[in-house]
């Protein structure tokens, strides 16, 4: 798994610096989403799957896109937006990054169409 380089040092780095050193890509696959969600939540960073098309993904804990509600999440949270194919959310990523400057915004590669409801992570 390819976590951002600085993840190994997060426990000793102050919260303000954490946000500045983490470099996230514009897209995550479902597998990357599940791996990063597991690992980031262990160190206190919230990772949210955000539905932009009012079509929840079966067996995925997603929330509906609501800008006013999303602004209440802790600074440095990771928002993973999805649509049907992943193209619209990738195209709108600059808009999301402008709207939520204190958060990390990512598009789900392949969107809802590539989501495998039975995919799970196995302990290594």
What the block records as the tokens of 76 is 């440095």
CA distances from 101 to 20, 28, 39, 78 (A): 12, 19, 22, 11
Distances (CA, A) of 33 to 39, 68, 74, 91, 111: 10, 24, 19, 19, 12
**CATH placement of domain 38-119:** 3.40.250.10
**What would the pLDDT profile of 28-48 be if each residue is shown by its tens digit?**
999 999 999 999 999 999 999
pLDDT for position 19: 44
Domain edges within the chain = 38-119
pLDDT tens, 73-106? 999 999 999 999 999 999 999 999 999 999 999 9
Q: What is the pTM of this model?
A: 0.82
């Amino acid at each position: 798994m390819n976590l951002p380089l600085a993840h190994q040092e997060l426990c000793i780095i102050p919260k303000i610096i954490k946000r500045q050193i983490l470099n996230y890509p514009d897209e995550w696959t479902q597998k990357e989403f599940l791996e990063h969600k597991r690992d980031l939540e262990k160190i206190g960073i919230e990772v949210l799957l955000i539905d932009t098309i009012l079509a929840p993904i079966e067996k995925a804990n997603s929330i509906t896109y609501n800008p006013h509600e999303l602004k209440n999440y802790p600074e440095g949270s990771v928002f993973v937006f999805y649509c049907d194919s992943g193209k619209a959310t990738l195209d709108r990523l600059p808009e999301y990054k402008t709207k939520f400057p204190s958060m990390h915004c990512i598009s789900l590669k392949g969107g809802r169409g590539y989501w495998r409801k039975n995919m799970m992570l196995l302990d290594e």
